[in-house]
Amino acid sequence: MAIKGVNAFEMAQAQFDKVAAILDLDPATRELLRWPLREYSFAIPVRMDDGRVRIFRGFRVQHNDARGPSKGGIRFHPQETLDTVRALATWMTWKCAVVDIPLGGGKGGVICDPHHLSQREQEQICRGWVRQLAKNVGPVADVPAPDVMTSGQHMLWMLDEFETIHGGHYPGFITGKPVGMGGSEGRTEATGYGVVFTIREALREMGIDVRQTHASVQGFGNVAQYAIRLYTQIGGRVTCVACWDQTDQAAYSFRRESG
């Protein structure tokens, strides 16, 4: 999704340019890493519950696969853009490299709002997304995962479609599956916990006791709720939470000084 006046991919490229200059990378390497290796933009036709056929726009960007298969989530959002997906794929390359995981960066998305789609319609989008990319993704090429407004259920639909097309069992095609279907323990909490682990280490580096800190949190979804849980467990105090109410279509802030 795009923020008005901010182009995420231009931001990612500016960050890279700054670091590339510090590292004195040669021009060819700069050009290779500055842009995605491959990207796909495609139409996903879906027959809606009311009988109409609606066309959704899907994306997949494979930024780099020098270290291994591209890795990155699939986002469902009404304001999704190709440039946002490009930026996130780029950042996935750096994140995997920094922690020495043998994977490259990828990211995908569909311009849609799951809140206004039935389960059947969401399933058809998932299967259509895989059909458009079946020859270009897989366990040794590009491994998708959940992201904004996608879940383990979406991953199961995608896995089933991929296995149907290729006629085999390929659990390594996708991550973020439910634990009972081969998913990883702790995956649901991992991103939110990672935020807090980063905060904890930064505070330690600065000599600040986490018990003397308080925080405001934007959101209360799959990341924020687990970040709040762990942050308070290690002694922090959350004094404000702001979130979007889908039913009311309005943003609310909840504040309590005592946490």
Name the token pair of 168.
């085999």
Reported in sequence order, the residue ranges of 78-179 that DSSP labels E, i.e. its strands, are 104-111, 142-146
CA pair distance 184, 175, nearest whole angstrom: 8
Q: Fill in the DSSP letter of residue 173.
A: G
Burial of 133 (0-12, 13-18, 19+ CB in 10 A): buried
Determine contact, residues 86/63, Cβ cutoff 8 Å.
yes
Long-range interactions of 43-47: CB distance < 8 A, separation 24+: 44/110, 44/125, 44/128, 44/129, 44/132, 45/128, 46/121, 46/124, 46/125, 46/128, 47/124
Residue 84 — φ and ψ, nearest 5°? Answer: -65, -45
Judge whether 177 counts as a catalytic residue.
Answer: no
Name the token pair of 71.
């890795």
Given 95, 107, 135, 177, which residue is catalytic? 107
CA pair distance 70, 187, nearest whole angstrom: 19
- Work out the angle at residue 227's Cα, subtended by the Cα atoms of residues 249 and 188, and round it to the nearest 5 degrees: 85
Q: Which residues pair with 46 in a beta bridge?
A: 54
- Sole residue written with tokens 């290779």: 32
- Catalytic positions are 107
